[in-house]
Structure 1
Amino acid sequence: MNLLVVYTHPNHQSLCFSFLEKVLQGAEINARVGKIKVLDLYKEKFDPALVFNQNKRRRDLYKEPELEVYREQILWADKIVFIYPIWWGRPPAMLLGYIDQIFVSNFAYKEIGRYIPEGLLKEKSIVCISTMKGPKHYPLLFINNAHKALMKKALFRYIGIRKVKFFEFGSMEDVNKGQKKKLQKIYQYMSEVAN
Structure 2
Amino acid sequence: MKRVLIVHAHPEPQSFTTALQTNAAEELRKQGHEVVVTDLYALGFNPVASSADFSERANPDYLVYALEQRHAYGSGTLAPDIKPHVEAVLWADLIIFSFPIYWFSTPAILKGWIDRVLLSGPFYGGLRFYDKGGLRDKQAWVVATLGGQPHMFGADGVHGELPRMLSHLLRGTLGYLGFDVLTPFFGYHVPYITHEDRVKMLETFRQEVRNLDSRPRLAFPSLSDFDERLYPLSETAQGLSQEPNRHEALKARRRDDHNQMVLVDGMSGTTINLSQDEFKDYHKGVGMMALAAMALWLLMLALHI
Against the structure 1 CA distance between its residues 106 and 71, is the aligned structure 2 distance closer, same or farther, given a 3 Å change threshold? same
Judge conservation of contact 2:6–2:37 (CA < 8 Å) in 1.
yes
Judge conservation of contact 1:82–1:128 (CA < 8 Å) in 2.
yes
Unaligned runs of 5+ in 2: 53-58, 215-305
Secondary structure at 1:61's aligned position in 2? helix
Q: 1: distance between equivalents of 2:143 and 2:207? A: 14
Secondary structure at 2:44's aligned position in 1? coil
Q: 1: distance between equivalents of 2:151 and 2:48? A: 31
**Cα distance, 1:189 vs structure 2:** 2.5
Deviations 1:23-72 (A, max 9, x none): 112112113x1x11110001111111111496354112252232111110
Against the structure 1 CA distance between its residues 107 and 143, is the aligned structure 2 distance closer, same or farther, given a 3 Å change threshold? farther
Query: Could you tell me which residue of structure 2 aligns to residue 50 of structure 1?
Result: 49
Query: Could you tell me which residue of structure 1 aligns to residue 17 of structure 2?
Result: 16
Unaligned runs of 5+ in 1: none
Q: 2: distance between equivalents of 1:28 and 1:41? A: 21
Q: 1: distance between equivalents of 2:207 and 2:130? A: 38
- The answer on 1:148 being equivalent to 2:166 is yes
* Aligned positions of 1:1-195 closer than 5 A: 1-31=2-32, 33=33, 35-52=34-51, 55=60, 57-58=64-65, 59-62=67-70, 63=73, 64-66=78-80, 67-112=82-127, 118-140=132-154, 141=157, 142=159, 144-145=161-162, 146-176=164-194, 178-194=197-213
Secondary structure at 1:109's aligned position in 2? coil
Q: 2: distance between equivalents of 1:193 and 1:84? A: 19
Secondary structure at 1:5's aligned position in 2? strand
Judge conservation of contact 1:111–1:118 (CA < 8 Å) in 2.
no
Deviations 1:91-124 (A, max 9, x none): 10110110111112102112139x9994100011
Which structure is higher in RCO with an 8 Å CA cutoff and minimum separation 6?
1
**Cα distance, 1:11 vs structure 2:** 0.6
Q: 2: distance between equivalents of 1:116 and 1:192? A: 25
Q: 1: distance between equivalents of 2:89 and 2:126? A: 20
Secondary structure at 2:98's aligned position in 1? strand
Q: Which has the higher strand share?
A: 1
Judge conservation of contact 2:104–2:166 (CA < 8 Å) in 1.
no
Query: Could you tell me which residue of structure 1 aligns to residue 254 of structure 2?
Result: none
Judge conservation of contact 1:89–1:139 (CA < 8 Å) in 2.
no
Judge conservation of contact 2:141–2:184 (CA < 8 Å) in 1.
yes
Q: 1: distance between equivalents of 2:109 and 2:206? A: 25
CA RMSD of aligned residues (A): 2.4
Judge conservation of contact 1:78–1:124 (CA < 8 Å) in 2.
yes
Secondary structure at 2:150's aligned position in 1? coil
Query: Could you tell me which residue of structure 1 aligns to residue 291 of structure 2?
Result: none
Q: Which has the higher helix share?
A: 2
